[in-house]
Structure 1
Amino acid sequence: MFPAMILFLLPGLNIRAQTSYELNAGWKCAPVSEVTANGFNISSQSFKINSWIPATVPGTVLTTLLNNSKVPDPFYGMNNNLIKDIYQTGRDYYTYWFVKDFTEKITVPGQQVYLNFRGVNYSCEIYLNGKKVNKQTHKGMFLRQSYNITSLLNKAGQNRLAVLVYPPDPVGNPNGGQGGDGRIAKGVGLQYTAGWDWIQPMRDRNTGIWDQVTIEKTGSINLINPHVVTIVPGTRHVTGEQRPAIVKASAELQNSTSATVKGILKLSIDGKSVSKNVTVAPNTSQEFTLSDLTLANPKLWWPHGYGPQNLYNAKIEFFAGGSLSDAENISVGVREIKSAWNNETHSAYVTVNGQKIFIKGGNWIISDAMLRFSDARYDAEVRFHRDMNLNLIRIWGGALVERPEFYAACDKYGMLVFQDFWMSGDANGKWLDPMKADDQWTRRKYPDDHSLFLKSVADQIKLVRNHPSLAMWCGGNEITPPEDILLAMRDSILPKLDGTRWFIEYSNSDKMSLNTLGGNGDGPYGIQDIATFWETKTFPFNSEVGSVGVGDYESLERFIPEKNRIAPGYSEGGKSKVDSVWDYHKYIGYDKSIDPYGKVSDAKDFATKAQLVNYDQYRALMEGFSSHMWSWYTGTIIWKTQNPWTAMRGQMYDYYLDPNACLYGLHNGSEMLHPMYNPVTGMVSIVNNHFEAKRDLMLAVRVADMDGKDSLLTQIFVEVQPSSVKNFLPIKPVVEKMAKEKGVFLVLQLLTKNKEKLSENIYWLADEKGNYSGLKNMPVSKLEVTAKKINNGKIEATLNNPSGSPMAFFNRLSLVDPATHKRLLPVFYSDNYISVLPGDSKKVLLEYKDVTNKDQPLLMISGWNLSEKMISIK
């Protein structure tokens, strides 16, 4: 019986041998200036660390100090100025020891145990149980580390890990320039940490063990860096039976033992598998490629709006002696991404599964300026981008390659990713800049260690290359890397390690978007007359074009002290006059754009009226670009859609994940099938982004006055060809006549032949003087609002506007705590800042994390002509 029991338990032991877990709690730390012992002593169990403070890992030194109340919140008010900057203190001030006690021992003969670091900024020494783990100092923020610690573990199972983390060197002078004095770019790390025009400096330059630390247990072979590629030949449609797709796979097998290991490498996906007999030499790591696997009638992955985001669960395993040694699970999206050139626009365009995609994107900096990353925050932020009806996120080069969890969210929500490497023209020498410490020729050679940069590139490619959302690699923001780095990346590293994605040498390259207009090849930035987006031609694939983004008053309350909540103004010369805290948080002026809505009375009134400008700006931006789809443009990427700090510009939601009207203006203007009004020509048109023609649709054009009187101007049956824009009705003379005195609401509706409303687009048009005089004196709304819980975490709100009432204009829904009446965050709204015609109703779905031990939330609603109301949820 005893031998049989042993045989029965062995499979369980082998499975356990592959497990990994994160060391993410119970760390302690102390500044190096307060510790006289060396790493050999500190990593000994006898060394006392009782007086050390709890450390946040993953995290930065500043995160740890904040969590221990050693510094004030740098995101609030002027608090960041109260924190000592590393440039003044010297690097030792933010050089820290991090210590973690953990239990682990060898339980299975032949078991191998690895200590893995996914990211340390910037360099470190590692000790375990009184021994040095890394023989040489590790350097590089974007370079993973893995150490076989099998022989270093204590037999009793009690272990101590000690890590000495050094900050970047040099740290750069945060002198107010883009990237400060630029010298932060001498290393291979984050450039924004020395400050930018949308953020103040991070005082520790994000020093710390900023990403996961894991313990991994395997058999004799450790399977690393698996690679799965899908080939989808031809032009595909979303529905119907699909021709086969090809799956190619490879993996590196690491043998840390002194014996040759023979075994089987196997890929399994969708009930099919392919395997290969391999031999791995002792103390080596070798890559092995499997035979192609064919998927019949595959379920394809599409960008948001075009089709579903189908994902397969794939597994790559290695069996040695009949037992599983190691395995990796991979989420696979079957799709193929290519690029081509449009001779009419003189720019490139993207195809997915053979279909061309008009890019509607947003620039992303980083999820959190203090590197407080989480799966939940990634999911929320990427979901917001999906809710904007975008299809691409560009990760800007002054930050990082995001964590795999970010790309997993993009896979889920259908966001293509345009990934920059770690360069920016500002710090890397593109422009003459008196704020910089070194001249352009010197800065052009940054970083100092080109070999480290290239090693980091290779490592980060391996980290994220399996994600179907990853669509493009980019050499850097507005500048190429130095020539030797560029050529190695383009001609060697990327073809070898990936080879399936479009490589763009720099973000506004002529090879992506031929610049015939002069200037830098991107922009403009800041507030625009909405007509500009329609009539002024900009760069044909514009990687950065942006505008304003102040949140509403509740958003401002979260980071601006009450005494500083003073409405901004502007001088006769047009320059903003703004409170010092607003200025510190990088306010970008709305200037005279608020005035047509009436003179601002206070900060709350300003923030309320700013939402009207926000909505109009971003709706117009995407409508203007879409109106010239494939003739002027192949895509546009908004600068920018989010902030990792409490900045007051370029954001569809604030740092606390509270959306503003920018998000919903963009949600409207970016619809896949969308009726729109050109304010310059007065033409009504429809844009169809789908791969199929849309037929038998009714286009209705209505006008409503301030009292709610609704006039149907015309309605016609229409059809629109795939991926195109079609003009239908010139209505400018009649609309301007009706708007002359008080302004008017222009309503465009798309209806099916069953009278189902597919889209409704409501514009508020100014009077002949350019003022919204009618809005200033609108009758009180009679909107009726009900809400019911339809599932855990889901609420349906119904907004009904009785016949004979005025337009219920620009209503903001919020889900709030019943005690404080403060918003629950994040909440996802199917629409917001909603206007409802007389005699009409609209339903809005709200989704949030339902904490069952909390009281039922309330629904708050307020509108332009509706006083704030609290609605109980049934």
Structure 2
Amino acid sequence: MEDWMPATVPGTVLTTLLNNGKIPDPFYGMNNEKIEDIYDTGQEHYTYWFVKDFSEKARKDEQVWLSFRGINYSVEVYLNGQKVNQEPYEGMYLRRQFNITGMLSKDGNNRLAVLVHPAEHVGNPNGGQGGDGTIARGVALQYTAGWDWIQPVRDRNTGIWDKVFIEKTGAVNLKNPHIVTLVEGIRTAHGPQDPATIQLSAELENTQNKEVSGTLNYSLDGETIQQSVSIPANKTIEVSLPDYSLKNPKLWWPSGYGEQHLYDINIQFVADDNLSDSEAVRFGVREIQTEWNAHTRSKQISVNGQKIFIKGGNWIISDAMLRFSEKRYDAEIRFHRDMNLNLIRIWGGALPERPEFYAACDKYGLLVIQDFWMSGDANGRWLDPYKKDDQWTRRQYPDDHDLFLESAIDVIKMLRNHASLAMWCGGNEITPPADILYALRDEILPELDGTRWFIDYSNSDEMSYNFKGGNGDGPYGIQDISTFWGDKTWPFNSEVGSVGTGDAVSLRRFIPEAHQVIPEEQDGTEKVKDEVWTYHKYIDYRDAMDPYGKPTDMEDFASKAQLVNYNQYRGLIEGFSAHMWDWYTGVIIWKTQNPWTALRGQMYDYYLDPNACLYGLRTGSEPVHGMYDPVTGNIMIANNTFEQQFDLMLKVTAYDLKGESKVLTQIFCYIEPSDSRVIMSLKKKIDELRAEEGMFLSVQLMDEHENKVSDNFYWLPDASGNYSGLQAMEKAGLEASAKKISDTEIELRLSNNEGNTVSFFNRVSLVDKASGERLLPTFYSDNYVSLVPGESKTILLTYENLESNQTSIEIGGWNMAKQTISID
């Protein structure tokens, strides 16, 4: 037993090896290169036994079940020396439940032993997307053989990667409940509601050699809905309860449009007045609708009869090594809510996300597109010299179509009750093979769900007419802000994105000191001269920082990157919002997060530290938003709510680099629900004011109570495209005070004195008082903030562990040295 080590379950082999100090952290520097790859070692190297001793006895008339929610890739399960799975158990996404009642020891002392085998086809990590593509021969993750945002995961995530648990029931096991909510008509987010219809069914498994009769029931809103049923011996049947009309339902809405009301019910099967089994289910009352918008030539999404302009983010996975937790899921989904997004698409090279992910999306109001497990790269859409097999062969991946469909059925049953799940998608940039596609579309989904739109693949013409040719995605990487406003792209763009490098504090977490340099491009390649930056998939900013002055070191480079980050994502979402329902019905950013320490496409880093991308996107996505079009010089308003915004006061103010102000307009205006409109053009005035050294432009909206509903602050270059004035700005210190207002919240008040110039682009950080390290994750009501002379702002900081930490606040900006603020 000397060679045994404590195992991390749920977890992968690599996670256990890391936690036991057997390998270095593959997320740091070039450490991943020091870990042996399964393609070179062979499967045996990453084949492990997992053993657990536990106490359990079965009482009279009790059935005991052993449940696995995910293994990778195949297992042999033994309990007290007896083999549990008499048939093969393989496939990463397949749940399995075993009745172990007769295998439990009489004294209650049991040993569970699970031998986990890696996938047969692990792929050659040769630098291609999904390596040589053969990783797709199995029903599992494809990114683990490498992609353009991650290096190969050396064990391909072999292991018992999801939960293992014991359940107890009576003679009848209640499984896979299914709840459908029907919400007719066009609903409002507030006030009394017409009834909604609740449809509920569940599977009942009789473990006995005789028929069992009883009642399936649940209670809701003071009413009990039930159905008498008899289950034949050793059979599983599906039972539907009578439809229930829920009076004045509390509806579930996407973030920004209304509340995320959720109902809790307990579904029970009772036989002979004894509870045999029950399942607790949380669900939201809502209905998803889709229709074709003939004007934009793209799909349009509605919830409860109200059309929703989609502002989404593409999601890979929470952690590349599958180290999932409810706390991390909650934080990441909260970040997406805080960016004023309303949808997340789960990319097809990863996995069906966990119920805990969906629970967070239910809570925060994020609609979800769930891809099935295909990608154009590995599954043969394109000719690719990195791939081992030809396109015809890859087109028929995976090898076992029946396993793919069995896994799909199981995943649908696992996830279908979540209010946030809005759409299923056949695959990333490619449909599944014909037999899988037809089975999913025409048989499985209509039978098991039938309430959600099925997209055949992520950039399908059925979703968005591809009038430009190519893949129907992108562009990716740094772009001129004017392109987002002036260049029409796909009307429902499933992937469009930009850069995302974090600041110096973020970079130092995983870049060794010797490599903390300014990344320099290698001519004619996508790589940079420093190997660590290249290894972590850095996307070049090209000349985007030059107008601010050439960076002098990594700290300066990373600080100026944040200016670019903020502008990129504010400009992206503003450009799409400005053309809602005319050019576009939605946009999904590629991508909003990284499950590895990659240097691209992320609103926060792997360690949950936000960068300026998040706050630029947050500002540009305000529910009611005033904005400046850099192409036309128009001042516009976007309204992402169901309410008409009447008697809004629009105020546009110019500030020079000394802080002197000039009101360009102050006017009442209005805007219809879910719409955008031009108010006026100020191009001539703005071009004149910014010509010599650039300028600041404040676009604000105030409601009838004179409260700010939109506060948008631009910095504009001079006539030559440089920020010459910024480079010569005077210092402007802020007055700051902070007080703790609850166990998890701090209120920070910032003020800029009348005599100062603008205090520009200040980053606020909650830090440990002793070490100065940032406390993560911290949520800020705003960040990278600018204050004009005489202005005050209040920022709310939220951190879960305030009680157990001595904290202070660090703040510093473009023209203000860093200072530390004590908290009262």
TM-score by length of 2: 0.99
Structure 1 residue 50, shift from structure 2 partner:
5.2
The aligned runs of 1:19-168 (5 Å cut-off) are 49=1, 51-107=3-59, 109-168=60-119
- The question of whether the paired residues in 2 share the 8 Å contact of 1:102 and 1:159 is answered with yes
- The question of whether the paired residues in 2 share the 8 Å contact of 1:249 and 1:267 is answered with no
Q: Deviations over 1:511-532 (max 9, x none)?
A: 0101111111010000000000
Which residue, 293, 297, 300 being the options, matches 1:346? 297
Query: Is 1:859–2:806 an aligned residue pair?
Result: no
Unaligned runs of 5+ in 2: none
- The question of whether the paired residues in 1 share the 8 Å contact of 2:522 and 2:529 is answered with no
Unaligned runs of 5+ in 1: 1-48
The residue type paired with residue 667 of structure 1 is R
The more displaced of 271-280 and 652-661 is 271-280
Q: Deviations over 1:40-61 (max 9, x none)?
A: xxxxxxxxx4541111100000
- The question of whether the paired residues in 1 share the 8 Å contact of 2:501 and 2:561 is answered with yes
Q: Distance between the aligned counterparts of 1:478 and 1:675, measured in 2?
A: 35
The aligned runs of 1:414-813 (5 Å cut-off) are 414-570=365-521, 577-813=528-764
Q: Distance between the aligned counterparts of 1:402 and 1:571, measured in 2?
A: 38
Instruction: Find the residue that maps to 1:463 and give its secondary structure.
Output: helix
Q: Deviations over 1:64-108 (max 9, x none)?
A: 00000000000000000000000000000001111000000023x
- The question of whether the paired residues in 2 share the 8 Å contact of 1:478 and 1:506 is answered with yes
Query: Is 1:212–2:168 an aligned residue pair?
Result: no
- The question of whether the paired residues in 1 share the 8 Å contact of 2:186 and 2:305 is answered with yes
Q: Distance between the aligned counterparts of 2:105 and 2:663, measured in 1?
A: 82
The residue type paired with residue 873 of structure 1 is I
Q: Distance between the aligned counterparts of 1:811 and 1:652, measured in 2?
A: 17
Structure 1 residue 572, shift from structure 2 partner:
7.4
Q: Distance between the aligned counterparts of 1:553 and 1:268, measured in 2?
A: 54
Q: Deviations over 1:177-210 (max 9, x none)?
A: 0000000000000000000000000000000000
Instruction: Find the residue that maps to 2:435 and give its secondary structure.
Output: helix
- The question of whether the paired residues in 1 share the 8 Å contact of 2:409 and 2:444 is answered with yes
Which residue, 230, 247, 258 being the options, matches 1:279? 230
The residue type paired with residue 177 of structure 2 is P
- Give the direction of change, closer, same or farther, for the CA distance of 1:127–1:141 in structure 2 (3 Å limit): same
Q: Distance between the aligned counterparts of 2:246 and 2:339, measured in 1?
A: 33
- The question of whether the paired residues in 1 share the 8 Å contact of 2:526 and 2:539 is answered with no
The residue type paired with residue 594 of structure 2 is N
Paired residues in the alignment total 824
- The question of whether the paired residues in 2 share the 8 Å contact of 1:270 and 1:312 is answered with no
Q: Distance between the aligned counterparts of 1:218 and 1:378, measured in 2?
A: 30
Q: Distance between the aligned counterparts of 1:871 and 1:689, measured in 2?
A: 36
The residue type paired with residue 706 of structure 1 is L
- Give the direction of change, closer, same or farther, for the CA distance of 1:242–1:58 in structure 2 (3 Å limit): same
- The question of whether the paired residues in 2 share the 8 Å contact of 1:221 and 1:256 is answered with yes
Instruction: Find the residue that maps to 1:418 and give its secondary structure.
Output: strand
The residue type paired with residue 814 of structure 2 is W
Instruction: Find the residue that maps to 1:406 and give its secondary structure.
Output: helix
- The residue number in structure 1 matching 2:766 is 815
Structure 1 residue 708, shift from structure 2 partner:
0.8
Structure 1 residue 852, shift from structure 2 partner:
2.7
- The question of whether the paired residues in 1 share the 8 Å contact of 2:180 and 2:198 is answered with yes
Structure 1 residue 130, shift from structure 2 partner:
1.2
- The question of whether the paired residues in 1 share the 8 Å contact of 2:615 and 2:782 is answered with yes
Q: Deviations over 1:527-570 (max 9, x none)?
A: 00000000001000000001000000000010000000110134
- Give the direction of change, closer, same or farther, for the CA distance of 1:400–1:571 in structure 2 (3 Å limit): closer
Instruction: Find the residue that maps to 1:115 and give its secondary structure.
Output: strand
The residue type paired with residue 514 of structure 2 is K
The aligned runs of 1:829-868 (5 Å cut-off) are 829-854=780-805, 856-868=806-818
- The question of whether the paired residues in 1 share the 8 Å contact of 2:636 and 2:678 is answered with yes
- The question of whether the paired residues in 2 share the 8 Å contact of 1:576 and 1:591 is answered with no
Structure 1 residue 830, shift from structure 2 partner:
0.7
- The residue number in structure 1 matching 2:775 is 824
Q: Distance between the aligned counterparts of 1:655 and 1:215, measured in 2?
A: 33
Query: Is 1:873–2:786 an aligned residue pair?
Result: no
- The question of whether the paired residues in 2 share the 8 Å contact of 1:273 and 1:293 is answered with no
- Give the direction of change, closer, same or farther, for the CA distance of 1:774–1:451 in structure 2 (3 Å limit): same
**Percent of counterpart pairs with the same letter?**
63
- Give the direction of change, closer, same or farther, for the CA distance of 1:692–1:851 in structure 2 (3 Å limit): closer
- The question of whether the paired residues in 1 share the 8 Å contact of 2:528 and 2:534 is answered with no
Which residue, 223, 243, 255 being the options, matches 2:206? 255
Q: Distance between the aligned counterparts of 1:361 and 1:833, measured in 2?
A: 22
Query: Is 1:384–2:353 an aligned residue pair?
Result: no
The residue type paired with residue 384 of structure 1 is F
Q: Distance between the aligned counterparts of 2:582 and 2:485, measured in 1?
A: 13
The aligned runs of 1:343-422 (5 Å cut-off) are 343-422=294-373
Q: Distance between the aligned counterparts of 2:779 and 2:250, measured in 1?
A: 28
Q: Distance between the aligned counterparts of 2:401 and 2:159, measured in 1?
A: 23
Q: Distance between the aligned counterparts of 1:119 and 1:576, measured in 2?
A: 37
Q: Distance between the aligned counterparts of 1:766 and 1:571, measured in 2?
A: 28
Q: Distance between the aligned counterparts of 1:851 and 1:204, measured in 2?
A: 38
Instruction: Find the residue that maps to 1:487 and give its secondary structure.
Output: helix
The aligned runs of 1:307-326 (5 Å cut-off) are 307-326=258-277
- Give the direction of change, closer, same or farther, for the CA distance of 1:409–1:743 in structure 2 (3 Å limit): same
Structure 1 residue 575, shift from structure 2 partner:
6.2
Structure 1 residue 576, shift from structure 2 partner:
6.1
The residue type paired with residue 373 of structure 2 is W
The residue type paired with residue 403 of structure 1 is R
Structure 1 residue 351, shift from structure 2 partner:
0.4
Structure 1 residue 751, shift from structure 2 partner:
1.0
- The question of whether the paired residues in 2 share the 8 Å contact of 1:568 and 1:576 is answered with no
- The question of whether the paired residues in 1 share the 8 Å contact of 2:139 and 2:373 is answered with yes
The more displaced of 260-269 and 632-641 is 260-269
What's the C-alpha RMSD, in Å, of the aligned pairs? 1.0
Instruction: Find the residue that maps to 1:591 and give its secondary structure.
Output: coil
Which residue, 240, 249, 264 being the options, matches 1:289? 240
The residue type paired with residue 864 of structure 1 is W
- The question of whether the paired residues in 1 share the 8 Å contact of 2:527 and 2:534 is answered with no
- The residue number in structure 2 matching 1:42 is none
Q: Distance between the aligned counterparts of 1:115 and 1:636, measured in 2?
A: 43
Q: Distance between the aligned counterparts of 2:607 and 2:576, measured in 1?
A: 30
Instruction: Find the residue that maps to 1:815 and give its secondary structure.
Output: strand
Structure 1 residue 123, shift from structure 2 partner:
0.3
Instruction: Find the residue that maps to 2:75 and give its secondary structure.
Output: strand
- The residue number in structure 1 matching 2:219 is 268
TM-score by length of 1: 0.94
- The residue number in structure 2 matching 1:24 is none
- The question of whether the paired residues in 2 share the 8 Å contact of 1:575 and 1:591 is answered with no
The residue type paired with residue 811 of structure 2 is I
Q: Deviations over 1:759-780 (max 9, x none)?
A: 1100000001100011111111
- Give the direction of change, closer, same or farther, for the CA distance of 1:669–1:765 in structure 2 (3 Å limit): same
Structure 1 residue 299, shift from structure 2 partner:
0.5
Instruction: Find the residue that maps to 2:741 and give its secondary structure.
Output: strand
- The question of whether the paired residues in 1 share the 8 Å contact of 2:310 and 2:343 is answered with yes
